Structure 1
Amino acid sequence: MLSMSIIAWIIIGGLAGWIGSKVMGTDAQQGILLNIVVGIVGGLIGGWLFSLFGVDVESGGWLFSFVTCLAGACLLLFFVKLVTGRSRV
């Protein structure tokens, strides 16, 4: 059962990272592996931020998990672009 949750997080993270990179305009610079990493790290960031505001992240279901990963991925990519100074190509 643990392996299914890991596979699900990779799939959700990959989709969220890919869509987040499309939204933030960084898709040309990222491959599938980086999209997965951005989505998973974005999920951690989004979950942490939502929990700070009192949102129950754990019982939200798959759709809320995806939205959490997507929001965190966009936030992560925004700060990476801000720090590195990369503009849209």
Structure 2
Amino acid sequence: MGVIAWILVGLIAGAIAKALTPGKDPGGVIITMLIGIVGGLLGGWLGKLIFGVESINGFFHLSTWIAAVIGSVVVLFLYRKLSGRTAH
């Protein structure tokens, strides 16, 4: 799976990550989409690093989506922590 596919997966994974981790975010829809894209790419990269495969399995496989959602949740968590510290 290429970078463009991971970006598309990341857009949807960002929305799923936001739904899984409710709370107020210091950003709007654009920030959520960017977090999803970064999280999707992070999930794909970690999948390659941890499992040693070229891509997870493909666009429509569950493992691809799980990796993207986990990556998006991690990035969303980090974003909330970093933006919370700078707001004080």
Normalising by structure 2, we get a TM-score of 0.67
The answer to whether the 8 A contact 1:12-1:66 is kept is yes
Q: CA separation of 1:23/1:57 partners in 2, compared to 1, >3 Å: closer, same or farther?
A: farther
RMSD of aligned alpha carbons = 2.8
Amino acid at match of 2:32: N
Query: Could you tell me which residue of structure 2 aligns to residue 66 of structure 1?
Result: 65
Q: In percent, how many aligned pairs have the same letter?
A: 31
Quick one: distance in 2 between partners of 1:44 and 1:10?
7
Output one character per residue of 1:1-49: Cα deviation in whole Å (capped at 9) or x when no partner. Answer: x9xx83x545422211011011122576431x33332221111211222
Partner of 2:51, secondary structure, is coil
Matched, 1:30 2:63: no
Matched pairs, number: 81
Superposition map of 1:1-89 within 5 A: 6=4, 8-26=5-23, 29-31=27-29, 33-56=30-53, 58-62=55-59, 63=61, 64-85=63-84
AA aligned to 1:30 is: G
Report the Cα distance in structure 1 between the residues aligned to 2:66 and 2:20, rounded to whole angstroms: 13
What residue ranges of structure 2 are gaps of 5+ in the alignment? none
Give 1:25's aligned amino acid.
P
Bigger Cα displacement from structure 2, 45-54 vs 12-21? 45-54
The TM-score, its normalising length taken from structure 1, stands at 0.66
